[in-house]
Amino acid sequence: MKKIIYPDQKNWEELCKRPAFDSTKLEANVRDILSTVKEQGDLALIDFNKKFDGVETERIKLDISEMTFNIDTDLADAIKIARDNIAKFHSARQEDSVKIETARGVRCWRKSVPIQNVGLYIPGGSAPLFSTLLMLVIPAQLAGCENIVVCTPPQKDQQLDPVIGWTCQLLGITKVFLTGGAQAIGAMAFGTDSIPKVYKIFGPGNQYVTAAKQLVQKDGVAIDMPAGPSEVLVIADESASPEFVAADLLSQAEHGADSQVVLVSNSKTLIKDVEMELVQQIKELPRKDIALKALENSQSILVRNLDEAIDFSNTYAPEHLIVATEDCDELGEKIVNAGSVFLGRWSCESAGDYASGTNHTLPTSGYARSYSGVSLDSFIKKITFQKISEEGIRELGPSIEKMAEAEKLQGHKNAVAVRLEKLKNKIKKE
Amino acid sequence: MKKIIYPDQKNWEELCKRPAFDSTKLEANVRDILSTVKEQGDLALIDFNKKFDGVETERIKLDISEMTFNIDTDLADAIKIARDNIAKFHSARQEDSVKIETARGVRCWRKSVPIQNVGLYIPGGSAPLFSTLLMLVIPAQLAGCENIVVCTPPQKDQQLDPVIGWTCQLLGITKVFLTGGAQAIGAMAFGTDSIPKVYKIFGPGNQYVTAAKQLVQKDGVAIDMPAGPSEVLVIADESASPEFVAADLLSQAEHGADSQVVLVSNSKTLIKDVEMELVQQIKELPRKDIALKALENSQSILVRNLDEAIDFSNTYAPEHLIVATEDCDELGEKIVNAGSVFLGRWSCESAGDYASGTNHTLPTSGYARSYSGVSLDSFIKKITFQKISEEGIRELGPSIEKMAEAEKLQGHKNAVAVRLEKLKNKIKKE
């Protein structure tokens, strides 16, 4: 962990830079994978399962309702609790706006409509992430999406991970396909014989998955957000527990060698104590090597006061922000750029990762300046409607004509003119 | 206009395809422009103004408050009416969700925060689009964005179009810059000496602007939506006025040679009458040549009944949808994919383009299946917060531990374990 002491504000931008990654070469590979999937469909997916995952699969589609999954009872209970909390938090649906009469006879409104077909990518990797399945399926179902397609890479025994399978059954998900990586993204974007084409793709993944999601946008598919390596920023004062802070930093560092963890504090002592705790706690971690590499990219920053800490955090725009200070509520009010915020010493990031109810699919790499995390809104689009009466067009028509004329769009003006003319004739007749 | 009679549903996908455009070559040009802007900043913008717009500009930034613009009084009144209606419609802000206690001691909530720095691109072309200025500035101001940057290409007389200038003053916009095309997008994405770097870029533009918006996303900038040529689909029955329908189709066709207009009807007679009207009305249009080219790409489709018409429209997912039928309200309920909908014979698309209050920045090319048009929401992101009490972590902790363990993320489990351990010791002490 690099130590930075009282950095000048003009160096903040540099400190906020995430490790750069050149995706040019990788992108060419991903383009090839995508075009192979576009041409060959399911056959390509079966080939890629063999090539990339070393697994022989006969069929991509699983008959999930015919399968049986046995998982530990405690784990089953934990997943149910998480499901209930996530559903509770995500179901706070906002009402559509009422019809607004913007001018006499001109009524306008917006209507929320679920995105019909959505694709959810659940990464495999070191362990299949059933928590991501919960985080994406629950809001999709609450939004009312008609077709929810799930793709996840095959496990070495050629089948679905039992916890993923069990959770799919719990949630009533049936369209589950054994394919991962860039090829899974291509399959959902273009459709294959077995996998339906979707309108929007969600979910995290490695650099191949991320590049594929970026590329398929040109083919008319929306994506949840651009994803980068996971990150946490912890603001802590001398009241914070070094043990808790170190554990929180490590819980992020173990994600991947490219994860970033940042500690910002106004207390030299706290920073020193956290560093000592890190050395102790990292020893016990099964993913120690990964966490150590992540810490190399990471930094602790000593600032003059907590307001400066919040300013720095707002410049950094972290995916996760833990505020472990005495006055966390007051500081919380000043946050303008962050994905998800954890206030106070008992609010650890793992709570939001799994079970407190908030979503864990969040903007990384500074995208929190402009993006929100996944929510029910992500599975909905809003259509505007308007209905104009005779009186409405008579009142508003001349303004429209004037503006269309000034933009030199005579056809736009004419669409109003023919209507006003008709109304004039109508009045004459009456 | 191609005539298609009772098409089989299996051919709909083909009928819904927009004219393809190969952007590969253009993309290389745009990459060059972007990297030049990144390296040379304002100097590059001044060079490009000369090269692409044939205009010598000394400075990119305008002192808008020092300038005087004279515009026609009727036009000024029209713009004010449009401003009021747009503000009325867009200010229907939705309240943040209240704090939810998802489990005992676990409080979670979402907070809306404006995106601090936004960039608005206002195209020049045949006429500067002050209507787009209204459509983007008003929701940005209502959302509370701190820095609103406007870029627009210079006019031949080296200055700002007077209506754009006047509208900027009306709205109180001061950060106005004379630069257009891909270079303007680059300038807002990277920042230059005079133009502030922004977090999200909005606004329509030609293929260069669109390609630049797609490319800068990789540099951490969000965009409103992928933009394509404008389009309208009109559903009309025999009750519709052929004169109105033809005028509406032409108001879209005059936008550009690549615009698409589609007429779907259950009445042979209506289709024939509209075609005759088109021939008559197009003669009078100043932009006749453009409209004629657009009509070549366009189609009229005869369907068996109006339900089929709505099904086709939902498959096509038009940017603008006009429902000119007797039972337009009932049909309106069945719409699931569209940008903005105009119900009934008096609701012409021009109304929404200018002054009824709804936004005219809308998803094209079928993106209406997953994207909404621009609204106040587009200028806001939502941050999730959570605060967990001692009781909360004691209750929820074991579930988090169980799930983290099943995902083989020991560090995540540990962040809970150190807290539960502390609480156990605390109870012992007490």
Chain B residues touching A406 at Cβ < 8 A: 72, 75, 127, 130, 163
Least confident among B45-54, B155-164, B362-371: B155-164
Angstroms from A269 CA to nearest CA on chain B = 20
Kindly provide the ipTM of the predicted complex, given to two decimals: 0.93
Note the pLDDT of residue A206: 87
Residues in CB range of B385: below 8 A, 6 or more apart: A332, A340, A341, A343, B108, B109, B110, B111
Note the pLDDT of residue B94: 62
Verify whether the Cβ–Cβ distance A411 to B355 is below 8 Å. no
Measured in Å, how far apart are chain A's first and last C-alpha atoms? 84
- Does the pLDDT of residue B268 top 90, yes or no? yes
Note the pLDDT of residue B19: 76
CA-CA-CA-CA torsion sign (B339, B340, B343, B344):
negative
For residue B386, the chain A residue with the least C-alpha distance is A342
Cα angle, residue B405 at apex, residues B404 and B409 outer, rounded to 5°: 60
- What's the rounded mean pLDDT across residues B122-132? 86
Least confident among A132-136, A319-323, B298-302, B426-430: B426-430
Note the pLDDT of residue B429: 74
- What's the rounded mean pLDDT across residues B228-242? 95
Give the pLDDT band of residue B122 (cuts 50, 70, 90): very high
Note the pLDDT of residue B22: 72
Verify whether the Cβ–Cβ distance B250 to A414 is below 8 Å. yes
The CA dihedral of B317, B322, B326, B331, to the nearest 10 degrees, is 30
Instruction: Write down the residue that tokens 């992108």 correspond to.
Output: A27
For residue A97, the chain B residue with the least C-alpha distance is B92
Token pair for B300: 């009229």
Chain A residues touching B243 at Cβ < 8 A: 418, 422
Note the pLDDT of residue A23: 74
Query: What single letter denotes the amino acid at residue A167?
Result: T
Residue B85 CB coordination number (10 Å): 26
Each of the 430 residues of chain A gets a pLDDT tens digit; together they read: 899 999 999 999 889 888 777 777 899 999 999 999 999 999 999 999 999 988 988 889 999 888 899 989 998 898 889 888 888 888 876 666 678 899 999 999 999 999 999 999 999 877 789 999 999 999 999 999 999 999 999 988 778 889 999 999 999 999 999 999 999 999 999 999 999 999 999 999 888 999 999 999 988 899 999 888 899 999 999 999 999 999 999 999 999 888 999 999 999 999 999 999 999 999 999 999 999 999 998 999 999 999 999 999 999 999 999 999 999 999 999 999 999 999 999 999 999 999 999 999 999 999 999 999 999 999 999 999 999 999 999 999 999 999 999 999 999 999 999 999 999 988 777 6
Helix axis angle, B207-216 to B24-40, nearest 10°: 60
- What's the rounded mean pLDDT across residues B69-94? 86
Cα–Cα distance measured from residue A203 to residue A169, given in angstroms and rounded to the nearest whole number: 19
Residues in CB range of B230: below 8 A, 6 or more apart: B252, B255, B256, B259, B260, B319, B320, B364
Angstrom distances, CA of residue A368 to CA of A21, A68, A353, B220, B390: 19, 40, 17, 10, 29
pTM of the model: 0.94
For residue B124, the chain A residue with the least C-alpha distance is A407
Cα–Cα distance measured from residue A161 to residue A152, given in angstroms and rounded to the nearest whole number: 9
Residue B41 CB coordination number (10 Å): 19
Verify whether the Cβ–Cβ distance A222 to B371 is below 8 Å. yes
Note the pLDDT of residue A410: 95
Verify whether the Cβ–Cβ distance B341 to A89 is below 8 Å. no
Angstrom distances, CA of residue A175 to CA of A79, A165, B352, B376: 20, 11, 40, 35
> For an interface test with B, which of A370, A378, A391, A421 has the most B Cβ atoms less than 10 Å from its Cβ?
A370
Closest residue to A79, CB basis, from B85, B356, B403: B403
- Does the pLDDT of residue B95 top 80, yes or no? no
Note the pLDDT of residue A219: 87
Verify whether the Cβ–Cβ distance A410 to B375 is below 8 Å. no
